[in-house]
Amino acid sequence: MMLEVPGAAMLEAVTLTKRYEDGVLALDHVSFAVKPGQIFAMLGANGAGKTTAINLFLNFIEPTDGEARIDGIVTHKEPLLAKQRVAYVSENVMLYPNFTAVQNLDYFARLGGKTGYTKDDYRSVLLRVGLSEDAHNKRLKGFSKGMRQKCGIAIAILKDAPAILLDEPTSGLDPKAGFEFQQLLDSLRTEGKAILMSTHDIFRAKEVADIIAIMNNGRIVMQEPASRLLGQDLERLYMQYMAGHTAAEAVA
């Protein structure tokens, strides 16, 4: 299924390393690349370093070694330039509680440099992520986690950036919304976005991703094109890697 996508990487980690102030080595010389039109899924236990990797791409933290690049721009050297090219959905989207969904979308779209959207645009993107119409003009105060997550995804779509970072974007989504999100990812891929996603959903990852990476203790212990994993039981593989087997042992 996976095609060899031509061209340079849009998202790239080069021996990316992060040791926190308290000494925890959260990311240990991690390298990978996501090209336009590719979805890169990171699997891994809690605390494996997935969020750390995404935060490094957003320059929320500085790398201890190596660098994260977006469209060739080193994020910790030119963060503003890099951030123009990336949209982000966190694992727990938080928005302004006193603003309505549409007001939140409008503000963040403008921050993302998109000032030309109309009310209709906001309406259609909210419908696209599955937020029912009666919630569009309600204050965020009463929104459930899944509803906020949908708004966060809508904001990322509106930014229309070439790179997208998704940190467990489907956490809190109901099954229907989860399925719709999968379709959404597909269409974003067709639009040529480069998508880096962390997830705990092995099955969905296998279905939607082009490359699957398994992380453990700050290292990528497996990184394979999804096409090569087609016949394999990914869940068993994952367990083996978590148990500390080396790549050779696991595949054997």
Partner 1 sequence: MFGILVQKELKAILLSPKFAVTFGICAFLLLLSVFIGISEYNASVKQYDTGKQLADQQLREQSSFRMIQTKAFRRPDPMQIFVSGLTYDLGRWAGINQISSPRLRSSAYSEDPIFAVFRFVDLAFVVTVVLSLLAVLFTYDAVCGERESGTLPLVFSNAVPRAQYLLAKGIGAWIGLVVPVVLALLLCMLMVILAGVPMTGEHWLRTGLLMLISLLFFTSFMVIGLFISALTRRSSVSFLVSLVVWVAFVLIIPRAGVIAAGQIVRVPSVAEIQGQRDAFARDRWNLFRQDLDSLFENRRGAEPDSMTEEAMWTHMQTQDSMRRAIELDINAFEAKLYEDLSRRRNVQERLAFSLSRVSPASAFQLAAMSLAGTDLDLKRRYEDGLMIFRTQFVDYANKKTEDSPGGFQISFSSDKGMSIGTPRSKAQLDLTDMPTFVPPVQQIGATVEGLLVDAGLLTLYSLLAFAGAFVAFLRYDVR
Ligand X SMILES: Nc1ncnc2c1ncn2[C@@H]1O[C@H](COP(=O)(O)OP(=O)(O)OP(=O)(O)O)[C@@H](O)[C@H]1O
Q: Is 157 in the site for partner 1 (CB under 8 A)?
A: no
How far, rounded to the nearest angstrom, does the alpha carbon of residue 138 sit from its chain's CA centroid?
27
Q: Does 75 bind partner 1 (CB under 8 A)?
A: no
Q: Answer whether 166's CB lies under 8 Å from 198's CB.
A: yes
CB of 72 to partner 1, least distance (A): 16
C-beta separation of 69 from 18 below 8 A: no
Contact partner, 96, from partner 1, Mg ion, ligand X, none, Cβ < 5-8 Å per class: partner 1
Q: Does 47 bind ligand X (CB under 6 A)?
A: yes
- Asked if 108 interacts with partner 1 (CB under 8 A), we say yes
Q: Is residue 211 classed exposed, middle or buried when 0-12, 13-18 and 19+ CB atoms within 10 A define those classes?
A: buried
- Residue 20's binding partner out of Mg ion, ligand X, partner 1, none, with CB under 5 to 8 Å set by partner kind: ligand X
Q: Which is nearer to ligand X, 121 or 201 (CB)?
A: 201
Asked if residues 176 and 22 have their Cβ atoms less than 8 Å apart, the reply is: no
Residue ranges in 15-74 that form contacts with partner 1 under rule CB under 8 A: 55, 58, 60-61
- Total residues at interface with partner 1 (CB under 8 A): 32
Q: How many residues bind Mg ion (CB under 5 A)?
A: 1
Closer Cβ to partner 1, 17 or 90, answer by number: 90
d(CA 155, CA 157): 5
Question: Measured at the alpha carbon of residue 39, what is the angle toward residues 241 and 136, in degrees to the nearest 5?
Answer: 115
Residues found near Mg ion in the complex (CB under 5 A):
51
